[in-house]
Structure 1
Amino acid sequence: MEKYLIKNKTTMYTFITAMISYIIVYGFELTHFTLSIDEEPMDNFAQTLSAGRWGHALLRHYILPEPYVPFFTLMLAIIILSATSALSAKYLMLSRLQSMSFAIALAAIPQMAYQLEFSNQSDTIAISMFCSVASLVSLNKGSLKGCITFIILTIVSLSIYQSIFLFAASLLCVWIAVSAIKSEMTFNVALKKVVLFSTLTLAALMLDATLSKLVASHYNVMISGYLSAIVGWGKSDLNQVLNNLFSFIRSYFTFNAAFGMNSFPLVVIPLMAIIVGAILKRKSTTLIIFASIAVLLSAFLLNLAIGTGLPPRAMTQIPVVFAGIFIIAVVFYNYNISALYVSVILLAVGASASNKLFYSDYMARQADNQLSSQLINTIYLKYPSIDLSKTPVFFYGSFTPFNSWRIPTADVFGASFFEWDGGNNQRMYKYLSAANIADLKSPDTAQVEKSRLMGESLPAWPNRDAVALVDGVVIIKLSNKLSDYNK
C-alpha cells in the first residue's frame, strides 16, 4: 500500500511539474489569445474530415467547442499534455526526480508551439498524444485485451492527427533503453516488443484508413489527396530526394531548424555519454547503444517513410526524443539532482523562444488590424455612401505589413493574413469577420474575372488609388502579383 501511495505521489508531482512547465513555455498565448493563420474559419468540420482527421472532427462536432474558446482550449491542452507527461514517466518507471526532470525536458523543446498556435486543434492534439502513450501502457500488459486496447487507442490517436503514433514509437525505444540499463530487458524481448508494436500499429493504420473513408462518406465529404501529395519517393529523382532528406535532417543538428528547436542538437552530448559509458561498463552494451540510437533516429521516421522534410508542427517526436535521450543518460549515470537543474535551464531557453514566437504572432495581428482599418477607412473616405454589406470587395494580390518582431525561420508565426498563400481572398474575408473588423461580401465568379482584369491598371497599396469602385465591386489592389488564390 505504501509503495502504491509513493507511486501515486510521484505521478502527482510529475503532473504538477509538467503543468507549471507548460504554462511557463506557453504563458503568453494563454494570457494573450492571438488569432493565427488557419484559425480564421469558424467551422472546420468538413475540412478536417477531408484530411482524414475524423476523430478530431467528431470531437469538435459533438463534444469540444468548434472552432475553439480562447484560454479554455489551450488550458485544456496543457492539462492533457501534463497528464501525458506524467503517464509517460510512469510508463518509463522513473523515480520522482527523474520523472520531474523528464517532464520539464519534454516541455523545454517548444515544438508544440507549432501545434498550439492552431487553437482549433490544440486540445485534440493533446488527446491524441495521451491516447498514444496510453496505448503503450496497455501493450505492456502483454494480454489479448491489452493488444486490442492498444489498437483502439492507436486508432483514436490516428483519427485526430496521423503522425502522433510515432510519439509512441519514440517512447517505446526510450523504455527499452531505460529497462536495459536497469538489467530488466534483453535483446530478444526488446525485438519481440518492437515487432508486436509494429504489427499492431500497422493493423491500426489500416483500420483507421477504412474508418476515415466510412465517416467521410457518411457526411458526404471527399477525402483529399493532401497526404499522398506530400510523398517524395517516386516523384523526384532518387538523388534529389536523398539530398533533400539529408539537408532537412542535418538542419536539426546544425542549429538551422525552425526557431525554438536549437536546443535539439544538444542531444548528441548525452547520447555520446551513454555510448561511451555503455562500452566502458560493458553492461547490456549492445542493447543500450542500439536503443539509444534508435530513439534519435525515430525523430525522423516519418521523413524517411515519405521521403521529404516536414513543417515543424508535424515533427511531433522531437520533444520525446530530446527528453528521452536526456533521461536515458540521467538513469545511466544516476545524476538526479543535477538533471533537475539542467532541465530547468533548458526550460528557460525553450520558454524564451516559445513566448517570442507567440509575441511575433501577436504583433502580426496588430499590423493586420492597422492595415485593415486603413483599407476600410479609405473605402469610406472615397465612397461615403457605400454599403459594404451589399457591395462585394475583391483583394488583388497580397501585402506584407511591417512587423519588426517577425522571425524568418518561424513557419507560420508572424505571418499576415494579407500575404499568406500569396493573397487569399477567402482567408482575408474570414479574418476580417473573425476579428470583428468587417463582414465583407465576396464577388461572384464573373465579378472576380472582371476584377482581375480591371485591377491590372490600378496602382498598388499604399497608394490610396489602389482602392477603386469598378462596376459595383470594390477592388483593393495590394500588390501587382496575383496568385491562384486571388479568386
Structure 2
Amino acid sequence: MHIGFWTKTKSILKWAILGCTLTLALTWALLKTPILTPTLKIETLNFPGETSQLFYKKLSSYSEQNSAFAKLDSSRTTFQFRLPLYDDELRWDPLEKAGTFYLKSVSINLLAYRKSVSLDDVNPTFELQKGIRNNRTVFVAPPGSIDPQIRIRIDSEALDIARISVAFVLAVLITLATLIWVNWHTAILAFAEKDTLWIKQLKNALHKDQFSASEFIILFGIGIALNLIPVTSFFLSVDDEVGAYRTDPSAWISDGRWTAFLVEKFIFPLPVLPFAPNLFFYACLAISYMVILRAHNLKFNWATALAYCVFVAHPIWWFIGEFYSNLPSAGLGVMCLSIAVYITTRLNLSNQFNRTKILLMIIASLCLALAVGAYQSLIMFYMVIGIGSVIFAFKDKTTEQTALLESAFKRVSYLIAVFLAGLALYFLLNKIAKHFYPANYGYLDSFLRIDALITDPLLIFSLTFEEMFKIYTGSERAYGVAFFSSAVALGFSILFLVTQKTWVACLRMTLFICALLISPFLLHFVTGGAYLPLRSMLAISFISWMSVMVILQNKGALRIFGVALTSILIFQMITINGQYAASTILATTHDRLTAQAIYSRIAEVNPNFDRDTLASIDIYGKLSFVSRYPSPSSSTMSASFFDWDDGNANRMIRYMQLIGFQNLSVIHPTQRIELTPKFKDMPIWPAPGSVRLEDGVYLIKLSETPDPTHAQYKQTGL
C-alpha cells in the first residue's frame, strides 16, 4: 500500500512539473507571438487624409525603424497600429499638412482586454492646436503645417501586466488541453467518432422527413434565379450609408434586435456589401422552406417547388432587402422561427411530458427568441406558420371524434406554449443585452399607442381592416403597383378550405382562417392603427404560398386551374420586382450623378480647391426625385439621399463620402441657421451660382423650400 501511494505521488508530481514547465514555456512563447501584440486604436471623425504614422520606442528615441503606417479602415473613421514595443509615450503624426479633424476615442486593445486612454493624455506637441468644438475634441493644423505631432501617454506597466496575465491564462488552458489529450486521447477519439443518442435521433428525424442536399440546392437556385437583380447588383438605399460607416453594432440593441447585433458582430461586420448578404439570405429561406414543408406534412415535388416560387418571389421580400444590414439577420430569423414550428409539430401528442419533450420545447422557444431578436415582427410570421400547420393537419379530417379535437387542442397548446416561452426568453435576453449595452429605446416606444386602442377601438379596428384589405388584394396603394391574382388565389383557397364535410368542421376551419389572416396585423392594434412599413409584414409571403398550395393540392381540372393561377401570380410578382429594380436603379443613378456634379461644381468655384483638404459645406433645401416606376410610401426604392428627411445635409454628405468624395464636411447646425440669409438671392440647383464659396464655406442651394435646419431661422427670430 505504501508503494502504491509513493507511485501515485510520483506520477502526480511528474505531471505537475510537466504542466508547470509547459505553462511557463507557453507563456514565454505567447508573449513573443503577434497574438499578444497590443493594438492602439484611434477613432476619428472627418479625418482629412488616408494614412497616418505612429512612432513607438523602448528605452530609446523615436526613429523611422520603430514606426508604423496605417490606413483608415473600411468604416473611414479608425486607425489601428500594432505596438511591438512601447513605453509610457507614443508619438502620432496624423497629417503631413494643414487640416482639421475630431478625435472620438483612443484605446489599447489586446484580445478581450481593452483599456481606454483618456483624451487628456492625448496632446499636441508640434504644429497642432487642441480644442473643443461641437462637444468633441478637435485638432487643428494651421496653414503651412508639414509635420503635426501628437503625444499619447499610456500606462505601459498596466499593459505589461495585462499581456502577461492573458498569456498565462492562455498557456494554462493550452496546457490543460494538452495533458487531457495525452492521457485520454483514445477515449476522446472513441467518443467523438461515436454517434451520441441525440445525433442518432437527429439523423433519424432528418432521414425520416427525407431532408436532402439536392432539395436545398434546387430551392436555393430558384431563390437566386427569381431574385437575380438584387443578388448581382449593389443598390445603396437610404440608411445604408449609416450601416456602411457603423463600427459598433450595438446600435441594434436600442431597437431590441440583439440577434441582429450578434449577426453583425460575428458574421457580417460590414453588412453593406453586394452578393454575400443576399446569398446568405436565400440560403436561409431555402432551409426555412424545407422545414416549413415538413411542418405541414408536405413533400418536395413539382407542386411544392412551384409554390416556393410564390413564396420567394413575393414583393414583400423586396422591402426588407432594401437595407443590406437587415438581410442576414432577417433570413436567420425566418429560418429560426420555421425550425421552432417544425419542432413543435413533431412533438408526440399522445405521450405525457418527459425530459425529451421539455428539452425540445426549450430548443423551439430559444429558436423563436432568436427570430424575434432578429426582427420583432417575425413573431407574427411564427403565428401564421403555426396556424397554417394546424390547418393542414386537420383540413381533410372527416370525423368529429373526441380524439381529433384533443389532438387539435394539444397542437395549438404546444404552439402557444412555445410562443409564450419564446417571448419570455426574448425579453430576458433583451434585458441582458440592454444591461451590457445601454441605449436609447425611444425608437420602439414611438410605435406603441395602446391608449389609442383604448380610447377609440372601433377606429383602430377600421384602420387595421382597411390595411388588411389593401395588402391581401395586392392594392396599388400598398405595393405601388397592383397584382390582382393575389386576391384571386386567396379567395379560392379560402373557399376550398371552408368547404368541409360537416358544419362543425367548416366552423372550425373558418376560425382558423380568420386567425391566420388577422395574425400578420396584430401590431397594427398596439400601434393605434398606425401605418406600418411593409417590411414588417413578411408573413404575407407565407399566406400567398399557402393560398396556392391549397389550390395545387386539388386534382384534375382544379389542379390545372391552380397551376395556371400560380403561374400568373409568379409572373406578376416577377414583373413587380422588375419595376422595383428599375425604380431603385434610376434613383441610385440619379444620386450618383448628382453627387458627381455637385463635387465638380464645388471644385469650380474655388480655383485653389484641394481634394485632400477638408471642405466645409452647407446645403439648403432638397432635390426631389420623381420616378416613372413604383414608389411605395413605406419604401426607399425610389428615394434620393438628396430628398430624404425633407433635406438632410448630413445624410447627403455621408453618401458623398461613401462613394469617394471624402473631404466634405457639414458645418454645425447653429452655423447653418446663421447662414440662412445668404441663400436668399441664390438660384436653385443646377443653375449657375447655385454653388458659392463664402468665408471658407461652400453654400449649395437645392430648392427654394428650406430644409428643417434652415427653417429654424424664422423660428429663432434671427
TM-score scaled by length of structure 2: 0.62
Equivalent position to 2:522, from 295, 301, 308 = 301
Identity of aligned residues (%): 20
Q: Rate the CA distance shift 1:4–1:408 in 2: closer, same or farther, 3 A.
A: closer
Asked if 1 retains the 8 angstrom alpha-carbon contact of 2:252 and 2:261, the reply is yes
Q: Rate the CA distance shift 1:333–1:406 in 2: closer, same or farther, 3 A.
A: closer
2:621 aligned with 1:397, yes or no? yes
2:24 aligned with 1:24, yes or no? no
2:592 aligned with 1:369, yes or no? yes
Equivalent position to 1:165, from 379, 384, 390 = 379
Whole-Å separation in 2 of the counterparts to 1:174 and 1:314: 19
2:442 aligned with 1:225, yes or no? yes
Secondary structure in 2 aligned to 1:173?
Answer: helix
Q: Which residue of 2 aligns with 1:425?
A: 649
Q: Structure 1: which 5+ runs fail to align?
A: none
Aligned-CA RMSD value: 3.0
Question: What's the CA shift for 1:80?
Answer: 1.1
Question: What's the CA shift for 1:55?
Answer: 1.3
Q: Rate the CA distance shift 1:283–1:408 in 2: closer, same or farther, 3 A.
A: closer
Secondary structure in 2 aligned to 1:284?
Answer: helix
Equivalent position to 1:245, from 460, 464, 467 = 464
2:488 aligned with 1:266, yes or no? yes
Secondary structure in 1 aligned to 2:384?
Answer: helix
Q: Structure 2: which 5+ runs fail to align?
A: 1-202, 348-356, 713-718
Whole-Å separation in 2 of the counterparts to 1:15 and 1:343: 22
Whole-Å separation in 2 of the counterparts to 1:134 and 1:464: 60
Whole-Å separation in 2 of the counterparts to 1:95 and 1:5: 13
Range moving further from structure 2, 72-81 or 288-297: 288-297
Equivalent position to 2:635, from 411, 417, 438 = 411
Question: What's the CA shift for 1:51?
Answer: 1.0
Question: What's the CA shift for 1:410?
Answer: 6.7
Asked if 1 retains the 8 angstrom alpha-carbon contact of 2:340 and 2:368, the reply is yes
Secondary structure in 2 aligned to 1:134?
Answer: helix
Question: 1:40-55, aligned counterparts within 5 Å?
Answer: 40-41=241-242, 42-44=244-246, 45-55=249-259
Asked if 2 retains the 8 angstrom alpha-carbon contact of 1:115 and 1:313, the reply is yes
2:534 aligned with 1:312, yes or no? yes
Equivalent position to 2:423, from 193, 202, 205 = 205
Asked if 2 retains the 8 angstrom alpha-carbon contact of 1:371 and 1:401, the reply is no
2:359 aligned with 1:145, yes or no? yes
Equivalent position to 2:545, from 323, 328, 350 = 323
Whole-Å separation in 1 of the counterparts to 2:225 and 2:572: 11
Greater RCO (Cα-Cα under 8 Å, separation 6 or more)? 1
Asked if 2 retains the 8 angstrom alpha-carbon contact of 1:111 and 1:260, the reply is no
Secondary structure in 2 aligned to 1:463?
Answer: coil
Question: What's the CA shift for 1:174?
Answer: 1.1
Whole-Å separation in 1 of the counterparts to 2:669 and 2:206: 67
Asked if 1 retains the 8 angstrom alpha-carbon contact of 2:316 and 2:535, the reply is yes
Range moving further from structure 2, 177-186 or 347-356: 177-186
Question: What's the CA shift for 1:87?
Answer: 1.2
Whole-Å separation in 1 of the counterparts to 2:709 and 2:264: 27
2:560 aligned with 1:358, yes or no? no
Q: Rate the CA distance shift 1:228–1:446 in 2: closer, same or farther, 3 A.
A: closer
Greater C-alpha Rg: 2
Which residue identity is paired with 1:70?
P
Whole-Å separation in 2 of the counterparts to 1:3 and 1:215: 34
Question: What's the CA shift for 1:463?
Answer: 2.4
Question: What's the CA shift for 1:320?
Answer: 0.6
Question: What's the CA shift for 1:341?
Answer: 5.0
Question: What's the CA shift for 1:401?
Answer: 3.6
Q: Deviations over 1:11-38 (max 9, x none)?
A: 5565344333322332111122211111
2:275 aligned with 1:71, yes or no? yes
Equivalent position to 2:238, from 14, 32, 37 = 37
Whole-Å separation in 2 of the counterparts to 1:126 and 1:60: 13
Q: Deviations over 1:139-176 (max 9, x none)?
A: 23431011111221111111111111211110111111
Whole-Å separation in 1 of the counterparts to 2:261 and 2:207: 39
Q: Which residue of 1 aligns with 2:569?
A: 346
Structure 1 or 2: larger strand share? 2
Q: Deviations over 1:353-380 (max 9, x none)?
A: 1122022111111111121122112111
Asked if 2 retains the 8 angstrom alpha-carbon contact of 1:311 and 1:411, the reply is yes
Which residue identity is paired with 1:350?
M
Secondary structure in 2 aligned to 1:307?
Answer: coil
Structure 1 or 2: larger helix share? 1
Secondary structure in 1 aligned to 2:325?
Answer: helix
For these two proteins, the number of residue pairs brought into alignment is: 484
Question: 1:274-293, aligned counterparts within 5 Å?
Answer: 274-275=496-497, 277-278=499-500, 284-293=505-514
Range moving further from structure 2, 312-321 or 469-478: 469-478
Whole-Å separation in 1 of the counterparts to 2:667 and 2:328: 36
Whole-Å separation in 2 of the counterparts to 1:181 and 1:247: 28
Asked if 2 retains the 8 angstrom alpha-carbon contact of 1:299 and 1:321, the reply is no
Q: Deviations over 1:315-349 (max 9, x none)?
A: 11100111123323434668667645543332222
Q: Which residue of 1 aligns with 2:210?
A: 8
Which residue identity is paired with 1:468?
R
Q: Rate the CA distance shift 1:130–1:364 in 2: closer, same or farther, 3 A.
A: same
Whole-Å separation in 2 of the counterparts to 1:406 and 1:465: 34
2:471 aligned with 1:257, yes or no? no
Q: Which residue of 1 aligns with 2:186?
A: none
Which residue identity is paired with 1:245?
T
Q: Rate the CA distance shift 1:136–1:408 in 2: closer, same or farther, 3 A.
A: closer
Asked if 2 retains the 8 angstrom alpha-carbon contact of 1:368 and 1:401, the reply is no
Whole-Å separation in 1 of the counterparts to 2:479 and 2:533: 8
Which residue identity is paired with 2:505?
S
Question: What's the CA shift for 1:430?
Answer: 1.8
Question: What's the CA shift for 1:7?
Answer: 4.6
Which residue identity is paired with 2:658?
A
Question: What's the CA shift for 1:260?
Answer: 5.8
Q: Rate the CA distance shift 1:410–1:52 in 2: closer, same or farther, 3 A.
A: closer
Whole-Å separation in 1 of the counterparts to 2:497 and 2:346: 30
Question: What's the CA shift for 1:252?
Answer: 2.1
Asked if 2 retains the 8 angstrom alpha-carbon contact of 1:467 and 1:474, the reply is yes
Secondary structure in 2 aligned to 1:441?
Answer: strand
2:336 aligned with 1:131, yes or no? yes
Which residue identity is paired with 2:370?
V
Question: What's the CA shift for 1:409?
Answer: 5.4
Which residue identity is paired with 1:320?
F
Secondary structure in 1 aligned to 2:615?
Answer: coil
Question: What's the CA shift for 1:227?
Answer: 2.1
